[in-house]
Amino acid sequence: MQSVSENLMITENVAVSPTQFYTWKNYRCAYEVYNPINQTTDNGIPLLLIHPIGVGLSRKFWDRFCREWYEKDCQNSIYNPDLLGCGESDMPPVAYNPTDWAEQLQHFLQTVVQKPVIVVVQGALLPVAIELVRLQSNFVRGLVLAGPPAWAVITKPSKGLKQKIVWNLLESPFGSAFYRYARRPQFLDSFSIRQLFADEDSVDEEWLDTLVKGAVNPDSRYAVFSFLAGFWRQNYQDAIASITQPTLVVVGDTASSISQSGKGETPDERIADYLKSLPNGHGVKISGRNVLPYESTAKFVTVVADFVKDIPPTGLNQGS
């Protein structure tokens, strides 16, 4: 077996690449690949994972998912990249928007993966997946939306002036001080319990240690500040309605919304709203709150595996 990511236990049935890099717009971007040891010519469609944005978050968010995926003897390869500004990718001090990250992933698909994938996207990074479908639809065979935002959030744009004001505030010395405070273990623990996890006992040492280590580089704040400024907040209703690929919407039975506009929505209503717009949508509710691939890993892997196996791997046309 090749070298394995730090703290990531993996079964003997899968090889994990060392961190690899590709160049996009002169930036160095990191990723890792998981391949079954006994891979055949028909191991199904590979998965492309899109991690969430937040203090200390990176591709390591998916470690538990990847481990559980292969422990359940799933055979699909996994491509797990760090978005620009996160993890081991370069962290330029710029304001990021979903199109930036989608173009990064488009280049990744064209130059590294070079085959169609099933996109698995966490939470409010859904706009990145939407933009990726717009840019390179023929490389996306299906999508899994893990804990997508409340429907009122994903269909209500944020005002450009408000975004600019928030960004300018966060880019100031105040923002630097705020980030130093926000990356403290005590804050990360409290925030995770209040906003992310259904069970506070699930906010474990592995989770907090990953976040603390991921936030050591202060330049990681720019991706977080871009998210907090709301550059991802647009009306995506028509774009969602144009997604023809099979799409699985997975929502936690105690799902909540950080945004005020989505606080009155129940998990069943969230699923129903997405399915009304998705031409080929499927919905499922599992135990958990807002970070299902981490807090409810086994259940999440089960529903994703069931969905993935029904997407035929044949007849895939490679795009460019």
Q: Which residue has the higher pLDDT, 136 or 39?
A: 136
pLDDT of residue 42: 63
The 10s digit of each residue's pLDDT in 182-219 is 999 999 999 999 999 999 999 999 999 999 999 999 99
Token pair recorded at residue 200: 């506070």
SS3 of residue 196 by DSSP: helix
Task: Write down the pLDDT at residue 38.
Answer: 72
Domain 14-308 of CATH type 3.40.50.1820: yes
Distance CA 236, CA 109 (A): 23
Q: What is the mean pLDDT of residues 27-46?
A: 85
- Distance of alpha carbon 97 from alpha carbon 230, whole angstroms: 9
In the prediction, which pLDDT does 158 show?
80
Q: Tens digit of pLDDT for each residue in 49-93?
A: 999 999 999 999 999 999 999 999 899 999 999 999 999 999 999
Residue 316 has pLDDT above 50, yes or no: no
Phi and psi at residue 293, to the nearest 5°: -60, -20
Q: Which has more confidence, 131 or 173?
A: 131
Q: What pTM value is reported for the model?
A: 0.92
Q: Could you tell me what percent of the chain has a pLDDT over 70?
A: 91
Q: Is 3 helix (H, G, I), strand (E, B) or coil?
A: coil
Site of tokens 């002036």: 161
With bands split at pLDDT 50, 70 and 90, how would you rate the model's confidence at 1? very low
Backbone angles phi, psi at 256, to 5 degrees: -130, 175
Q: Is residue 240's pLDDT more than 90?
A: yes
**Closest alpha carbon to 44 in 142, 135, 144:** 142
pLDDT at 46: 96
Q: Over range 290-318, report the average pLDDT.
A: 86
**pLDDT value at position 145?**
98
Residue 220 contacts residue 56 (beta carbons within 8 Å) = yes
pLDDT for the residue numbered 62: 98
Task: Please tell me the predicted confidence (pLDDT) of residue 262.
Answer: 52
Closest among 297, 303, 300, 295 to 256, alpha carbons compared: 295
Token pair 């028909």 in the structure block, residue:
42
pLDDT in tens, 245-277: 999 999 999 999 876 555 678 999 999 999 999
Collapse the DSSP code of 110 into the 3-class scheme (helix H, G, I; strand E, B; otherwise coil) and give the result: helix
What pLDDT does residue 6 have? 41
Closest CA to 291 of 236, 250, 263: 250
For residue 8, what pLDDT is reported?
A: 45
According to DSSP, the β-strands at 27-36 and 281-286 are unpaired
Query: Tell me: the pLDDT tens digits for 93-117?
Result: 999 999 999 999 999 999 999 999 9
Average pLDDT over residues 12-20: 84
From residue 206, alpha-carbon distances to 52, 62, 70 in Å are 17, 12, 20
Mean confidence (pLDDT) of the chain? 90
Average pLDDT of span 130-142:
97
Q: How many Cβ atoms from other residues are within 10 Å of residue 131's Cβ? A: 23
Give the model's pLDDT for residue 230. 87
